[in-house]
Amino acid sequence: MRRVVVTGLGTINPLGNSVNTSWENLIDSKSGISKITKFNVDTYPCKIAGSIEDSQINDEIVSLREQRKIDRFITLGLIAANEAIVDSGFISDEKSSLRSGVMVGSGIGGLDTIYKNSSVLDNQGIRKISPFFIPSSLINLLSGHISIKYNLKGPNSSPVTACATGTHAIGDSFTLIKNNKADFMVCGGAEAAICPLGISGFSAARALCDTFNEQPVKGSRPWDRDRSGFVMGEGAGILVLEELEHAKKRNAKIYGEVKGYGMSGDAFHITKPSEDGNGGYRAMEMALNESQLNPDEIDYVNAHGTSTQVGDMIELSAVEKLFETNNNLFMSSNKSAIGHLLGAAGAVEAVFSFMSMQTKTLPPTLNLDNPDTNTNINLIPNESILKPTKNIISNSFGFGGTNASLIFGL
């Protein structure tokens, strides 16, 4: 059987523009959430987000001229992809490029570009629409750009499963390598939806936190009594997945292994998760079955944990049910520090999961001051803990009732 390992990591997120910087800030209990200043939010119920300063975007990797022709989600994805590919040390040649692919998705893609061009069309007419409008906003163009820049001619695609996108991208890439359709995959997700239409749309759906506008760092508080919705973040997470022998042959540094992948549908509601948590439960169970691990061998759950009233408890109950016999389980939500990166969330959280295993440190759930639960699971409130882990499960659930879980191991 072909085994799949991780040989490169990259991210840009509200806590920093590299894996090491953002990881250090994460385990230091720093928050990347602040007031939105890029546009006027006076009339918006939610005025906070996990934004990335423009100065954090290295224009030596994506030039300012290039940035003008691509939506911000593509820029952020290219920054993270560069870090991951350089980290992997792999340079494709004529032959290996055919077995090397890209699978990077986004939840919404170029929303702000679509919004701006829509205004241009209404106010100035068709002659003012940029020829780069469509290619700058299409979701799969990020995978396209990465393939062009690094000469990767294997499978090329982009999942679009809302907040589960990043996790599906990694899982689908894992499956492609396992099934011998590729040896090397650049995968993950990118998102840049902190824009007027993005914030107002999620606000209208009553999904965003609207009770901590004056204390932004307190806004994202999974499982806490005072949680009131998620805080949006932006950024990208990219992993390089590689077939084990392929990686060994070139003496690549190996972060760990992808051991299992599960996916399911709720068939219940467009935005709410199924009340009994059965969808998430089945995704985790499928991943566990593929990994051939038993529930007691999982040390840590990198939770979806978005800080919404309903979702947090449903995930927790599904985890409690599946891991009923596991008396030493830890679980935390990275979203408490970086916000919810939508289609990039699962990918950034996968990057942090590998850093957890590598550094033997589990990141905290910030703002968990008054847990809304008596669970026996250690939710790692407010401060990271030193704890070696061998196997981690990471969850992502999206609008439409789409669920994905991955199991990573050392």
Rounded to a whole number of angstroms, the minimum distance from the CB of residue 113 to another protein is: 14
Rounded to a whole number of angstroms, the minimum distance from the CB of residue 69 to another protein is: 8
Rounded to a whole number of angstroms, the minimum distance from the CB of residue 191 to another protein is: 25
Whichever of 130 and 358 has its CB closer to another protein, that residue is: 130
Specify the amino acid at residue 93: D
Rounded to a whole number of angstroms, the minimum distance from the CB of residue 123 to another protein is: 14
Whichever of 69 and 149 has its CB closer to another protein, that residue is: 69
Would residue 304 show up in a list of annotated catalytic residues for this protein? Answer: yes
Residue 364 DSSP label: -
Whichever of 113 and 403 has its CB closer to another protein, that residue is: 113
Beta-carbon-side half-sphere exposure of residue 226 (alpha carbons within 13 Å): 12
Which of 145, 168, 246, 340 is flagged as catalytic? 340
The whole-angstrom separation of Cα 147 and Cα 153 is: 7
Would residue 46 show up in a list of annotated catalytic residues for this protein? Answer: no
Rounded to a whole number of angstroms, the minimum distance from the CB of residue 65 to another protein is: 4
Rounded to a whole number of angstroms, the minimum distance from the CB of residue 239 to another protein is: 31
Residues that bind another protein (CB under 8 A): 63, 65, 69, 127-128, 130-132, 135
CA-nearest of 336, 39, 35, 51 to 214 is 35
In this structure, the strands spanning 235-243 and 385-386 are unpaired
CB of 407 within 8 A of CB of 393? yes
Whichever of 129 and 217 has its CB closer to another protein, that residue is: 129
CA-nearest of 2, 1, 5 to 408 is 5
CA-nearest of 173, 160, 5, 159 to 100 is 173
The whole-angstrom separation of Cα 70 and Cα 394 is: 30
Residue 375, Cβ density class (10 Å: 0-12 exposed, 13-18 middle, ≥19 buried): middle
> DSSP states of 377-407 as a string?
SB--BSS-EE---SEEEEEEEETTTEEEEEE
Beta-carbon-side half-sphere exposure of residue 255 (alpha carbons within 13 Å): 25
Residue 334, Cβ density class (10 Å: 0-12 exposed, 13-18 middle, ≥19 buried): buried
Whichever of 126 and 267 has its CB closer to another protein, that residue is: 126
> DSSP states of 239-254 as a string?
EEEEEHHHHHHTT---
Would residue 340 show up in a list of annotated catalytic residues for this protein? Answer: yes
Whichever of 130 and 213 has its CB closer to another protein, that residue is: 130
Which of 46, 145, 163, 209 is flagged as catalytic? 163
Residue 274 DSSP label: P
Catalytic residue positions, numbered = 163, 304, 340
